[in-house]
Amino acid sequence: MAQKKAGKKVVKSKSMVTEEIEMNQALEEIGCEVVESDLGEYILQVDDHEPPSHIVAPALHMTKEQIREVFHEALGMRCQTHLKK
């Protein structure tokens, strides 16, 4: 479908079926840029396509420090270590 419509950017919702059939990889192989709309899936996507560890919370296995580092390295975001109350 992406090839037929000449699509280059795909925004994808969370789906375990698409994980099982490796849809992201297939779309990337034909030149599509895939962007996850689910935050947990997006974190894993920008962290070298690590597979999800939980059906509802895909990045559940990651600590807040690891997620902060992913955002810093992949997106150039500067995040505070501790938030003020």
- pLDDT tens track for 40-49: 999 999 988 6
Q: pTM here?
A: 0.75
Q: How confident is the model at residue 29 (pLDDT cuts 50, 70, 90)?
A: very high
**Domain locations in the chain?**
9-75
pLDDT of residue 21: 92
> Look-up: residue for tokens 């840029």?
33
The length of the chain is 85
CA distance 34 to 23: 10
Q: How confident is the model at residue 81 (pLDDT cuts 50, 70, 90)?
A: low
